[in-house]
Chains A and B, each alone.
Chain A
């Protein structure tokens, strides 16, 4: 990596090695050289620090894994025996040294167990955010901004068109539709880890106390959340349920299932989807979604910008998402910024087009 252009002298001593000398982008992922470990590696490695349990960040087969107890529980649940070699839990806020690097995990507010990785080496502090959001979520600890020299951020919703409206309003939209069409099933596409449980807690907080029906793929993680102390109310399996019971019911399923054959067994379903992408109408249309709910576990544009402000880092690296716009914004605020071009991290909606969603009535 070439020596950085220093038009805007950052507040650090010139004898400290710049973090880009000890944190490298390798094919396996982000490598912290003096600690000999990778953060969220995309291929099996000797030592991995994992920020959270989503499958593009937590992958099987690493020899040694460090993560929060919540993330490790999720990984065990999802991967079973393939989870890897030794699993080492590290509670939020506790410090640890790996090689020549101080490591601390701090809540990221993304999903249960999600953490930012705070790295200290040779007088510099680098924070790797993983995925994060800033708004309230009953299912996980809230994001803590940590002042640092380099902030490594995601940018899933890194465009100013992405502004997530208040969660409560989106949940009210769903409840309103259920009141309007009491005979129709409402089937909501949610990601199995995080979004599913968060939506349930939002519904419960809004006063919805009827049973919520779950696609089989969502059950194990809901059970795990409950075991870990997250109240979800009464849940029932939708897979074996009689069609009659599902009239007017609220059914949650993975995104790929709700616009597919699985949902057709339901009574004239209203297809909804809970995702930050639902903000863009054409995206919702592509997925065949009739009721888009803008509920996201990622920071929206304003939250990304606010976070850059809060951590006060003179330098920002952007891992994945819409890097270009966030880099542009940061630069315009006098922050040195660049895209890391990490591969292997997926957009929340990268499952492509569900069957037939592009067909239909063209105009």
Chain B
């Protein structure tokens, strides 16, 4: 555990991305199997231990320290693992017992029976020092929040692997990744040149997706419209459908397997192909607001009623594999032709083609983008006609060109401490609009401001607090936040009956009196569909 704890500490404090890659590569080079594999699994979020949930850890800590002091400390630190690691009372006899190794911890948790897990954790916490406790708690809660994404860990793997395999890139790692399981012995063996490339790339694994850049005005000036094809950008979630050799998987953009939540799609994947599309909720071919799709996200299982109320649909953008044939090297135009032919031949249910949007020049496109305000459309996609399907986010071939945002002047109502790098700053704001004489909350935003503005907002919150509820402060109705958002929909979750899509702080109106901000009727009039 000590080596892993040292790695976690070093990563937390390493400010530079390249420095992090160096630290990770060094760990892969020096730690033995299976320890490095478990570390990799922890960093990529591939480990989860059912019973070691935050609530259980909090409960455990409350058996050792005053629960009120624990709550105040957590409120201050903003990170449960760190709070408990720091507050856990050290026992003088700790020096006499050996702290567990990472392998011991993982094996212990994996083989533990229901009800034994927290007992194990308690014993380990007593033998570890503060760094070790932090690493252990981060590990078992499965969300490290230490500034290392799965992508960064894979980049480090590829970097380190180059010593023995000069030809590989991070996309090769991504390509084989989904067929592998922790502790990844065959992956390390391959990267050390001791074994063949793992064969898992041919299974129903996830293929790295091609992503787009937002189109900035200065980009547009340099683009030749004739070189690009346009299509609508649908307002759902990007998915990859993989049906290979009888296996069927639906993956989110980040490669998370969401098949379980969408049997109504998976049931109809009776083909052999890998497709790229947008997951939507649609009734009779009409796309429902994003809010309806949201009801079905982040669920392990799904009820018959949810299937009936929010039927899923996939609007197809691209084809990566047709049978065993890898089409990713073809141009967009060629792939599109293959996609259309494939669709015609297979006629899959619950899926349709995202139509191409023909246009003569920029003026026409600008007009269409402005006019696109109906449900389900977020804006336009521009794809270079000759672009191959490339992993990641290459600049140039694909652009997303979202329609202009809506804006509204709102009043800050509550502020909450952020997490991770923003812990201890009040960085998450709930804002509202006037309904008669009262403010009703209409959304929450935690982005769109600079670090310097965050400091000012944090100070404003601290100086204008009227009440405190744990980590949340209620503030005076005194600060106007101009909020930008993509659209607004009816919602039963909010007291106001409305929910915004992608709200973010557009401007902080230090100058504007709160009573002059917008009213609920104004927001209601922006609802479409």
Interface residues of A (CB under 8 A from B): 159-163, 271, 279-286, 288-292, 322, 324-325, 328-329, 332, 352-353, 355-363
The listed residue with most B CB atoms (<10 A of its CB), out of A283, A289, A356, A363, is A363
CB distance from B179 to the nearest CB of A (A): 24
The 8 Å CB contact of A360, one of B17, B145, B423, B452, is B17
The 8 Å CB contact of B72, one of A286, A322, A352, is A322
**Are B69 and A282 in contact, CB atoms less than 8 angstroms apart?**
no
**Are A359 and B13 in contact, CB atoms less than 8 angstroms apart?**
no
Chain B residue at minimum C-beta to C-beta distance from A343: B463
CB-CB < 8 A to B421: which residues of A? 282, 285-286, 357-358, 362
- Can you list the 10 inter-chain pairs with the closest CB atoms, starting with the nearest? A161-B86, A352-B455, A363-B149, A358-B451, A325-B72, A282-B423, A161-B73, A361-B17, A159-B73, A288-B15
B66 adjacent to chain A (CB < 8 Å): yes
**Are A160 and B65 in contact, CB atoms less than 8 angstroms apart?**
yes
**Are B424 and A283 in contact, CB atoms less than 8 angstroms apart?**
yes
B325 adjacent to chain A (CB < 8 Å): no
The 8 Å CB contact of A290, one of B15, B422, B425, is B15
Chain B residue at minimum C-beta to C-beta distance from A162: B86
A290-B14, A360-B15 are contacts. A282–B455 as well, Cβ < 8 Å?
A: no
**Are A361 and B152 in contact, CB atoms less than 8 angstroms apart?**
yes
**Are A159 and B72 in contact, CB atoms less than 8 angstroms apart?**
yes
**Are A282 and B147 in contact, CB atoms less than 8 angstroms apart?**
no
**Are A161 and B17 in contact, CB atoms less than 8 angstroms apart?**
no
**Are B146 and A361 in contact, CB atoms less than 8 angstroms apart?**
no
CB-CB < 8 A to A290: which residues of B? 13-15
9 pairs, A vs B, C-beta closer than 8 Å? A161-B87, A280-B82, A280-B424, A281-B12, A281-B79, A322-B76, A352-B455, A362-B421, A363-B149
CB-CB < 8 A to B145: which residues of A? 363
CB-CB < 8 A to B82: which residues of A? 161, 280-282
**Are A355 and B12 in contact, CB atoms less than 8 angstroms apart?**
no
B404-435 interface code vs A (CB 8 A; 1 in, 0 out): 00000000000000001111110000000000
The bracket for how many chain B residues form the interface is 35 or more
CB-CB < 8 A to B79: which residues of A? 281-282
Q: Chain A interface mostly helix, strand, loop or mixed?
A: loop
The 8 Å CB contact of A159, one of B17, B76, B422, is B76
CB distance from A343 to the nearest CB of B (A): 10
B208 adjacent to chain A (CB < 8 Å): no
CB-CB < 8 A to A282: which residues of B? 77-79, 82, 420-421, 423-424
Chain B residue at minimum C-beta to C-beta distance from A358: B451
B258 adjacent to chain A (CB < 8 Å): no
Cα A329 to Cα B67 in complex, Å, equals 11
CB-CB < 8 A to A289: which residues of B? 13
CB distance from A95 to the nearest CB of B (A): 39
CB-CB < 8 A to B66: which residues of A? 160, 328-329, 332
B112 adjacent to chain A (CB < 8 Å): no
CB distance from A289 to the nearest CB of B (A): 7
Cα A352 to Cα B17 in complex, Å, equals 23
Cα A361 to Cα B18 in complex, Å, equals 10
B28-59 interface code vs A (CB 8 A; 1 in, 0 out): 00000000000000000000000000000000
16 other A-B residue contacts (CB within 8 Å) besides A285-B15, A325-B73: A159-B72, A160-B66, A161-B77, A285-B12, A285-B13, A353-B425, A353-B451, A353-B452, A357-B15, A358-B451, A361-B147, A361-B152, A362-B421, A363-B144, A363-B145, A363-B420
The 8 Å CB contact of A328, one of B17, B72, B423, B452, is B72
Cα A281 to Cα B82 in complex, Å, equals 8
**Are B73 and A160 in contact, CB atoms less than 8 angstroms apart?**
yes
CB distance from B141 to the nearest CB of A (A): 15
Interface residues of B (CB under 8 A from A): 9, 12-17, 20, 65-66, 68-69, 72-73, 76-79, 82-83, 86-87, 134, 144-149, 152, 420-425, 451-452, 454-455
Chain B residue at minimum C-beta to C-beta distance from A351: B455
Cα A285 to Cα B76 in complex, Å, equals 15
CB-CB < 8 A to B422: which residues of A? 286, 358
The 8 Å CB contact of B76, one of A161, A291, A356, A360, is A161
Chain B residue at minimum C-beta to C-beta distance from A360: B15
**Are A280 and B15 in contact, CB atoms less than 8 angstroms apart?**
no
**Are A329 and B69 in contact, CB atoms less than 8 angstroms apart?**
yes
Chain B residue at minimum C-beta to C-beta distance from A361: B17
**Are B13 and A281 in contact, CB atoms less than 8 angstroms apart?**
yes
Cα A289 to Cα B16 in complex, Å, equals 11
**Are A363 and B69 in contact, CB atoms less than 8 angstroms apart?**
no
CB distance from A276 to the nearest CB of B (A): 12
The listed residue with most A CB atoms (<10 A of its CB), out of B83, B87, B148, B421, is B421
**Are B72 and A362 in contact, CB atoms less than 8 angstroms apart?**
no
Cα A299 to Cα B311 in complex, Å, equals 61
CB-CB < 8 A to B87: which residues of A? 160-161
The 8 Å CB contact of B147, one of A280, A292, A362, is A362
Cα A292 to Cα B148 in complex, Å, equals 19
Chain A residue at minimum C-beta to C-beta distance from B81: A281
CB-CB < 8 A to A322: which residues of B? 72, 76
Cα A353 to Cα B451 in complex, Å, equals 7
CB-CB < 8 A to B9: which residues of A? 281
Cα A289 to Cα B421 in complex, Å, equals 12
Cα A283 to Cα B425 in complex, Å, equals 10
Chain A residue at minimum C-beta to C-beta distance from B16: A360
**Are B455 and A353 in contact, CB atoms less than 8 angstroms apart?**
yes
